Structure 1
Amino acid sequence: MERHTQPWGRNIFGQSAVVCVRVLRIGLIAFGFAFILNSPPAGAQEFSDSPGEDAFLILQTNLQPPYQQLQDGILKGYSITVLNCAFDRIGLGYGIAIAPRQRNREMVRNGQADGFFLARISPFMDEYADPTLPLALEKWVWISAAGQQGSFASIPAPDSLLSVAAILGSNEAEWLAEQGYHEIAKVPLITSLISQVLAGRVEYALVDKQTFEAARDDMGHHEAQFKIQFERYAPLVIYFGREYTRRNPDLIGALNTALRTCETLPMRLEDWERDLITRQQLPMIRTMAGDPNLIAAVRSALGTADVRAGALADLDREWRRDSERGVASAKAGEILENSLSGILRSFQKGDAENIAEIFVFNTKGAVIGMNRLTSDFDQSDEPKFKVVIRQDPDLSQIADIYFDGSTRTFLSQVTVPVVDPETGNVIAAMTVGLDVSGALRPDS
């Protein structure tokens, strides 16, 4: 196949008519069609010297307030801002076509569209498409009417006789079907779903919390009218069709690199979540940090962890560069083999449902032990570093939730001091990445 040598950010306006004809020919006027073109800014960074001939792409999407919505005919929202940032950084022009969610997925599956967003990570889509890092993070909750009999002592089970609903074609409806919920009432709009819950026609509905709250407030309802129970977190990504990624094999890697700099905002822990971690997880983490075997291994690692002045930044750059490619730098490989890392791996395996990662860093911020490769070596520029510099053995930090692309899990990092029992001094700090989808469930 002949390959063009022009950059990804080529002039898109000469192709826009062709693209529009193609989109219209396959019939995307189901409920009103919108097509948006974005051209890269002058001087945008290019990530490939020889991109595929079809690098310019069309992404299918659907309206999903507040993440993306039409305002005066312009598609806006948080996910669009992140998307524009990422594509501008790699210098790639693209178009967006709006159609129903189910139609979008089918078009990607059939090779009629290059990609689709916002999509949850799905084993079914993995069969024919490849995901990026998330553009947005959702928190799914069960809602019911406040006056309804019964309680949320347990989340509605697939074999329950309770009526369950979701928005037609939504990520939540797909997930419910995958979990074995057979009788799912599928309602076309979030406003209709809320009305049916309040009217008692549906006992439980699974929705994104932010989408629900925005619609509830627009409808003039009060939060006291509903019961809410957390179910899970869901990353929302772009899925690129396998045919497109075959022709443009470097795109997802370049886009993911850009997405790391167009960072998805952390999902803030709510008060009940922070309280649950404090009561149920923090005591366990402090116990691990005080384990005599761990403290002995920390002392040993500290003895070999001296880094000459000015070398920390160099080692960190090398570490980050190699980590982005999924490999360990020389320093990282050395640390992965020490006894402290072995102890941390055994801790993680002992509670794998709740813990995704554990690492220890010294009073200079340098990682000295880890159960798996971390994204960076130097922790001194992060808020967690205060746990060692304040020398307070009772101090801890519970960070907001972020998505870890390497494990496809949502993590909240909990950091506690490692205290030398002989001197009472803080000699290091241990960070535990809690998989909040497991650790924060009510039945965890």
Structure 2
Amino acid sequence: MDAAPTMNLRLALGLTTVLASPLCQAQPPFLNLYTFESPPYQMVGSDTGGESQISGETADTVICAANRAGWSTRIRITPQNRAIHSLERNMIDGYFAIDPSAELDTIATRSDPVALEKWYFFTRDDKAFTKDLRIGVVAGSNEEAWLSAKGYGIFLSVSSPSQLLALLKRGRIDTALMDERVMDRLRQAKELAGTQLRAHFVRYAPLYLYLGETFTSDNPEFLGIFNRTLNSCMAGQLALSQEEDRRISELSSRLFKEMNSILDVRQIIDEGPRQESFTDVMTIDSQWTALSPLAVPDLAADILALPGSKALQAWQHSHQGLVTEVMLVNDMGTLSAMSQLTSDYWQGDEPKFQKVMENRATQPGGDPPIYLSPIRYDKSAARFQVTASRPVLNDHGEPALGVIVIGLSIEEALSDSEQY
């Protein structure tokens, strides 16, 4: 063989090896996770290539956020005790979707919520809920762990939601603690036929991914990226239901009327700071967001000291637990008054301002429209909340002076029982 062709062949083979190597390295690493079966959140899907695929809302959220952080996932269904045992010994990278656990908090690192469940005590007919009722729950579930931690007496633990509902229908238990979506699936499967239930709201339950110590030590950047992408991966899952929207709207309307009866919100807006140009607004907003919440910007301190802000603080305190924040925003979209420090100064790019300013039409003699935000998780307060916003109108049909925004704890707002 000629030396030249031989050399060219060797060169070609060498280049192929060099080029192929980065391609192999570019394959994303695998995140090995355990979870438990809980339709519609985590469930075994159809087999692909001999492996069962785990799907469902929560599984899809975790897969989405992990992928955006540069990782593929291997998810398996396993009993809780085995999952915790495996996580303790770093045999897996993580375990989801579970309630906060004092045990796991000592051996693993918790993400931001990867799911939001709505828990209700379900009773037959119009039976009121009291703590002395015979409570049924699914064994090994987050609900069972929560009941035990809160000191509730559990009458029966069973293997499945269907079995739990059957016991409730036959009167073997007085009430069942269950997620709303799980009960919806039973209803759609006609397992509720002929049975009238009353739903007593208990809590919004945030569920988490716990990552093992070895994984977080070896991949310190993962969790920050994972958490930042969760909101977009959960898009659509935190919307208010039609019934929740109605109830929160009615509550918000009463609160707005009460506030307007005791506070002059127009005067508060007029007395607040106002910038000369949009360029000034953006400069201040950049400085504000860079400092908040670790430090209070100078302008923020000035706004918090205003009489209008003090009045908002006092009004919020009169609804402690229900009202989480109050702010008045002028027509430029900047803060005129606030009950507490906000994360940014300019609110003009947010739906709670834009939706209200775009839709200010009212019926003659009617109230201005209310915009309700989707549910969002407040990490600092460890609670879920919504914001209700409404325009601050002039008397003479002129453009709105601005927007008033009230933050509401969703659990407090939906604490009453409802027919199911």
TM-score under structure 1 length normalisation: 0.74
Indicate yes or no: 2:96 matched with 1:134: no
- For the 8 Å contact 2:271–2:336, the answer to whether it is kept is no
Give the whole-Å Cα distance in 2 for the aligned partners of 1:359 and 1:251: 35
1:398 counterpart residue number:
372
**1:40-439 matched pairs, under 5 angstroms:** 40=28, 57-72=31-46, 73-109=52-88, 111-123=90-102, 125-146=104-125, 151-152=127-128, 155-157=129-131, 160=132, 162-218=133-189, 220-222=191-193, 224-242=195-213, 244-292=215-263, 294-301=265-272, 304-306=273-275, 308-312=277-281, 316=285, 335-336=303-304, 338-376=306-344, 377-389=346-358, 390=360, 394-419=368-393, 426-439=400-413
Q: CA deviation at 1:252?
A: 2.3
- For the 8 Å contact 2:58–2:115, the answer to whether it is kept is yes
- For the 8 Å contact 1:312–1:378, the answer to whether it is kept is no
Q: CA deviation at 1:66?
A: 0.7
- For the 8 Å contact 1:86–1:262, the answer to whether it is kept is yes
Aligned residues: CA RMSD:
3.6
Give the whole-Å Cα distance in 1 for the aligned partners of 2:223 and 2:295: 18
Specify the code of the residue in structure 2 equivalent to 1:183. Answer: I
Q: How many residues align?
A: 387
Structure possessing the higher radius of gyration over alpha carbons? 2
Give the whole-Å Cα distance in 2 for the aligned partners of 1:322 and 1:13: 42
Gapped regions of structure 2 (runs ≥ 5):
1-20, 47-51
**% identity of equivalent residues:** 25
Give the whole-Å Cα distance in 2 for the aligned partners of 1:261 and 1:11: 30
SS of residue in 2 equivalent to 1:105: helix
Give the whole-Å Cα distance in 1 for the aligned partners of 2:240 and 2:401: 29
Give the whole-Å Cα distance in 2 for the aligned partners of 1:307 and 1:251: 42
SS of residue in 2 equivalent to 1:118: strand
- For the 8 Å contact 2:134–2:155, the answer to whether it is kept is yes
Give the whole-Å Cα distance in 1 for the aligned partners of 2:22 and 2:214: 23
TM-score under structure 2 length normalisation: 0.78
Deviations 1:5-48 (A, max 9, x none): xxxxx99999xxxxxxxxxxxxxxxxxxxxxxx964xxxxxxxx
Q: Relative to structure 1, is the Cα distance of residues 129 and 352 closer, same or farther in structure 2, using a 3 angstrom cutoff?
A: farther
Q: CA deviation at 1:358?
A: 1.8
Specify the code of the residue in structure 2 equivalent to 1:108. Answer: L
Deviations 1:200-249 (A, max 9, x none): 21221000110121133235443854332222111122122456435544
Q: CA deviation at 1:172?
A: 0.8
Report the more deviating stretch, 170-179 or 233-242.
Answer: 233-242
Q: CA deviation at 1:438?
A: 1.3
Q: Relative to structure 1, is the Cα distance of residues 309 and 424 closer, same or farther in structure 2, using a 3 angstrom cutoff?
A: closer
Specify the code of the residue in structure 2 equivalent to 1:96. Answer: I
Specify the code of the residue in structure 2 equivalent to 1:137. Answer: L
SS of residue in 1 equivalent to 2:278: coil
Deviations 1:323-352 (A, max 9, x none): 5x8666666566455544443333323322
SS of residue in 2 equivalent to 1:165: strand
Deviations 1:361-413 (A, max 9, x none): 21122233333343443334415434345275633223343322232212121
Specify the code of the residue in structure 2 equivalent to 1:100. Answer: P
Report the more deviating stretch, 259-268 or 326-335.
Answer: 326-335
Specify the code of the residue in structure 1 equivalent to 2:335. Answer: V
- For the 8 Å contact 1:142–1:206, the answer to whether it is kept is yes
Specify the code of the residue in structure 1 equivalent to 2:377. Answer: F
Q: Relative to structure 1, is the Cα distance of residues 351 and 66 closer, same or farther in structure 2, using a 3 angstrom cutoff?
A: same
SS of residue in 2 equivalent to 1:64: coil
SS of residue in 2 equivalent to 1:394: coil
Gapped regions of structure 1 (runs ≥ 5):
1-9, 15-37, 41-54
- For the 8 Å contact 2:331–2:401, the answer to whether it is kept is yes
